[in-house]
Amino acid sequence: MIPFFLDFAKPILHSLIINEPAGLQQFMEQAVADFHLTEEECAEMIKSQKKTQVNDRTSWAITYLYQAGLIERVSRGLYKITEEGRKVYLSGVEITKEFLSQYKSFVDFQQRGSGGKTISDNQIQQNDIFKDATPSEAIENAVNEINSSLVSEILDLVKSRSPQFFEQLVVDLLRKMGYGQNGFTEVTRYTKDEGIDGIITEDKLGLNKVYLQAKRWNNGTVGRKDVTSFIGSLMSKSSKKGVFITTSTFSKEATESLSHLPSDVSVVFIDGIKLAEYMIEFNLGVSVSKTYEVKRIDSDYFEEN
């Protein structure tokens, strides 16, 4: 398990005690050695940015130590330890947000980030999405929490609509995902649809058709019988690709039935949770409420010839 980001403060100070000046790469190497991190842990990424968790947590630990005055910058990307930082390291004290709050420069830094509003330690501790997380991870956790609530709202709305509406929604979603690019999509008639609720093309020329089955259920689980019936409908149309979408869930038996399909036949299951997540990801039935910009330094601007 990768430690919390302020745990990376000790390896950073340790690295600077051994050899300074030093930068991000040296700090990460020291953390990997001190925490005995595996290759798999070192490769773990954060979702919101194209960087590893080790990189992100080390970077934010650098920022916090710098703002508290425990390290100082000597040139671009290189740091050295201050006398206060050396004293803290040798004392063996645990470096936490509460500990760093004894330094006025760190308190000022936190208040600048909150638009001048004072953020108490209690407020930070009471909110689990900020506890022991880097700001990048806190944003990610907050977005996930909002989206989790939104998933429930979407499913409630979809379940309250008619089966016909749901069938059209399924086709609309597949189009948003890039299928039916030549404009060929079809929702079959509500009656006598022979087990097929929609047809959509996989390619721009319309050569490959994907058949859709849509089950708008308030309760219950899609079982093996429902899946077998859908697969039978595919076979009757000599089709090799299908997508089964439901507002409910799939039983274990239904999922296991996919392992018995011929090697050239592919059927994908999308349950209610995944459906709502796709709707959020591809902006179907949702709109952007507010946008926050996260900016970084433009290093090129500050370069002097």
Look at 218 and 18; give whichever has higher pLDDT. Answer: 18
Contact 1, 38 (CB under 8 A): no
Q: Given a cut of 90, is residue 283 above it in pLDDT?
A: yes
The CATH code belonging to domain 5-119 is 1.10.10.10
Q: Given a cut of 60, is residue 123 above it in pLDDT?
A: no
Q: What are the sequence ranges of the domains in the chain?
A: 5-119, 162-281
Stretch among 16-25, 129-138, 221-230 having the lowest mean pLDDT: 129-138
Q: What integer best gives the mean pLDDT of the chain?
A: 82
Do 162-281 and 5-119 have the same topology in CATH? no
Q: What is the pLDDT of residues 47-81, one digit of tens each?
A: 766 789 899 899 889 989 998 999 998 887 899 99
Please give the Cα distance from 133 to 294 (Å, whole number): 17
Following CA atoms 173, 178, 184, 190 in sequence, which dihedral angle do they give, to the nearest 10 degrees? -20
Q: What is the pLDDT of residues 75-120, one digit of tens each?
A: 878 999 999 999 999 999 999 989 999 999 888 877 765 544 444 4
pLDDT for the residue numbered 7: 92
Q: Given a cut of 90, is residue 127 above it in pLDDT?
A: no
Q: Count each helix (H run) and each strand (E run) in the chain, helices first.
A: 13, 9
Please give the Cα distance from 207 to 201 (Å, whole number): 7
Considering 107-111, 143-147, 215-219, 226-230, the range whose residues carry the highest mean pLDDT is 226-230
Kindly report the CATH class assigned to 162-281: alpha beta
pLDDT for the residue numbered 48: 63
Considering 91-105, 187-201, 289-303, the range whose residues carry the highest mean pLDDT is 91-105
Stretch among 5-9, 49-53, 221-225 having the lowest mean pLDDT: 49-53
Reported in sequence order, the residue ranges of the chain that DSSP labels E, i.e. its strands, are 71-75, 78-81, 185-187, 198-201, 209-215, 221-222, 241-246, 249-250, 266-270
